[in-house]
Amino acid sequence: MRGPGQGRPALNWRRLNWRTLRWRRLSWRPEPNDRFYRFIVRTGLALRWLFRIRVLVTGREHLLQPGPLKASTRDGARGAAHRCPSRPVVPGQGAVVAITHFGYLDFAFAEMLLWWHNRAQLRFLVTQGAADHWFAGPAVSAAGHVVVGYGSGARAYDAAVARLREGEYIAILPEAGVSRSFTVRECKTGAVRMAAEAGVPIIPVSIWGAHRLLTRHHAFSPRRAWRAPVRIHVGEQILPGSLPGPADDARPATARLAKTLQDGIDVGMADFPLQPAPGAWWMPAGLGGGAPTEEERRRLDEADGPRRAGARRR
């Protein structure tokens, strides 16, 4: 016990500088929060409404059938049951959602799609660099995403498989980086291996047009975003029975996933509402656009270094 006159040690305000405050913000990591996730989704929906972005979806029939939403046991003083706005996590009903990656907003439109369909919360694999960020870190934690640490990422892989078995939707960008050619590049095998080990399907989601809003070397432009179209195509599910076993090579199934994602991009381009000008930067070179060719894309990717779990983005 403290003696008379010995209270709590005085705070040394001279040492309490901006570095100390920043470190305290860095160390704050809230628990996953359903309300926070809904706030993030509703913020995205509000921004979509603000810019009147047109989201055109095909292939909805390939999504998992929506089930009942969470139910609360109370409704004010009346005590009646009512629905809460999120999908319940039920063991055996998880899925890997594989998303194309041409721009920095693809994940947001995939998130909207699943929210509209059955109010599902997507759990993304997020790099340690993002989780360590003073501003993004608390949001990553509160949204319940899976953090891929620096190194092999084995712990994140095991955590993702466990969540899939529990019934979560795990969202993966299998290209492991933005494809500058705006065609689906070689995919990593993680999505296939996770789905096979957890015994869940893979839902391929191809997004075309979101890269016009924000991608590498092309910052966000309110003028370009105004009434911009975004095409989403959901490919046919890759069922667990068609996935390789633990001792089998996952590359053939991964190549099939990449082809399904590219087929979805082709569907989205075929009826995209905007007619591109010759040499448009957002169109693939093979279709007369100004994007890098596959050879140029490979050379640029090699200059960036290998894609690895938890790597910092250059």
- Of 154, 193, 200, 191, residue with least CA distance to 173: 191
What pTM did the predictor assign? 0.83
4 in a domain, yes or no? no
pLDDT at site 87: 82
pLDDT at site 36: 87
Give the distance, in angstroms, between the CA of residue 264 and the centroid of all CA atoms in the same chain. 18
Tell me whether strands 122-127 and 169-172 are parallel, antiparallel or unpaired.
parallel
pLDDT at site 248: 94
94 in a domain, yes or no? yes
Tell me whether strands 229-234 and 54-58 are parallel, antiparallel or unpaired.
parallel
Mean pLDDT of 187-191: 94
Give the distance, in angstroms, between the CA of residue 233 and the centroid of all CA atoms in the same chain. 16
22 in a domain, yes or no? no
297 in a domain, yes or no? yes
Please state, in angstroms and rounded to a whole number, the distance separating the CA atoms of residues 2 and 118: 57
Please state, in angstroms and rounded to a whole number, the distance separating the CA atoms of residues 128 and 34: 22
What's the CATH code of the domain at 299?
3.40.1130
Contact between 158 and 146 (Cβ < 8 Å): no
Mean pLDDT of 280-299: 94
pLDDT surpasses 60 at 2: no
Contact between 75 and 81 (Cβ < 8 Å): yes
- Of 163, 134, 132, 164, residue with least CA distance to 25: 134
pLDDT band at 82 (very low <50, low <70, confident <90, very high): very low
Please state, in angstroms and rounded to a whole number, the distance separating the CA atoms of residues 302 and 314: 12
**H or E, element range at 154:** helix 154-166
pLDDT at site 149: 76
- Residue-wise pLDDT for 198-226, tens only, equals 999 999 999 999 999 999 999 999 999 99
Please state, in angstroms and rounded to a whole number, the distance separating the CA atoms of residues 43 and 139: 13
pLDDT at site 285: 95
- Compute the mean pLDDT over every residue in the chain, rounded to the nearest whole number: 84
**H or E, element range at 71:** strand 71-72
For the chain, the domain total comes to 1
pLDDT at site 246: 85
18 in a domain, yes or no? no
Largest CA distance in the chain: 83
With 0-12 / 13-18 / 19 or more C-beta atoms within 10 angstroms meaning exposed / middle / buried, residue 186 is middle
Please state, in angstroms and rounded to a whole number, the distance separating the CA atoms of residues 64 and 95: 9
314 in a domain, yes or no? no
Going 229 to 113 to 49 to 44, the CA torsion angle's sign is: negative
pLDDT at site 230: 98
Mean pLDDT of 183-197: 95
Contact between 209 and 51 (Cβ < 8 Å): no
176 in a domain, yes or no? yes
- Residue-wise pLDDT for 123-163, tens only, equals 988 877 777 777 677 777 778 888 887 776 788 899 999 99
Q: How many CB atoms neighbour CB 282 within 10 A?
A: 20
Query: Could you please report the per-residue DSSP string of 231-290?
Result: EEEEPPPB-GGGS--TTS-SHHHHHHHHHHHHHHHHHHHHT-SS-PPTT-TTS-GGGT-S
- Residue-wise pLDDT for 39-52, tens only, equals 888 999 999 999 99
Contact between 275 and 216 (Cβ < 8 Å): no
- Residue tagged 């055109």 (tokens): 56
Query: Could you please report the per-residue DSSP string of 170-212?
Result: EEE-TTSS--TTSS--PPPSHHHHHHHHHT--EEEEEEESGGG
Mean pLDDT of 95-104: 96
206 in a domain, yes or no? yes
Contact between 89 and 167 (Cβ < 8 Å): yes
CA atoms within a 13 Å half-sphere pointing along the CA-CB vector of 102: 28
Going 274 to 275 to 278 to 284, the CA torsion angle's sign is: positive
Which of residues 78 and 32 earns the better pLDDT score? 32
Owning domain of residue 91: 31-62+83-304
pLDDT at site 252: 96
pLDDT at site 22: 52
